[in-house]
Amino acid sequence: MVTPCRENDKILKIIGGVLKQVFGENATLFIYTYLEQRYSLRQSDFSEKIGVFAKGLEDCLRSGAFAVETKILADIYSAYGSFGATGYQRSFERYDFASQMKVAIQRA
């Protein structure tokens, strides 16, 4: 059994991987700095404060946040296999990134 701390690390790794894939290293560091300065949200707190993370990401990226959030959810669902396809489909029916992330984190 994987400990919650290790699952949190996996979630953070997925989030960081998506941000780096989409924006590159420098822009990802800018986003992390933005979230920390504007929302007092450290990278290690993303999983515990997913609502704040979502709000900060949306403020920082505006309309671009949807694509990034969708990619984060897709990668998380993919990483955890069994519940992924069902949860991912629901995310488009009634999209709420923070709620979808909470479900994914609970099932992880």
Phi-psi category of 24—alpha, beta or left, where left has phi over 0 and alpha has psi -120 to 50? left
Residue 71: pLDDT band (50, 70, 90) is very high
pTM equals 0.82
| 90 contacts: CB under 8 Å, gap ≥ 6 | 100
* pLDDT reading at 52 higher than 70: yes
Phi-psi category of 81—alpha, beta or left, where left has phi over 0 and alpha has psi -120 to 50? left
Name the helix (H) or strand (E) containing 97.
helix 97-107
Please name the residue that has the structure tokens 């400990």.
Answer: 3
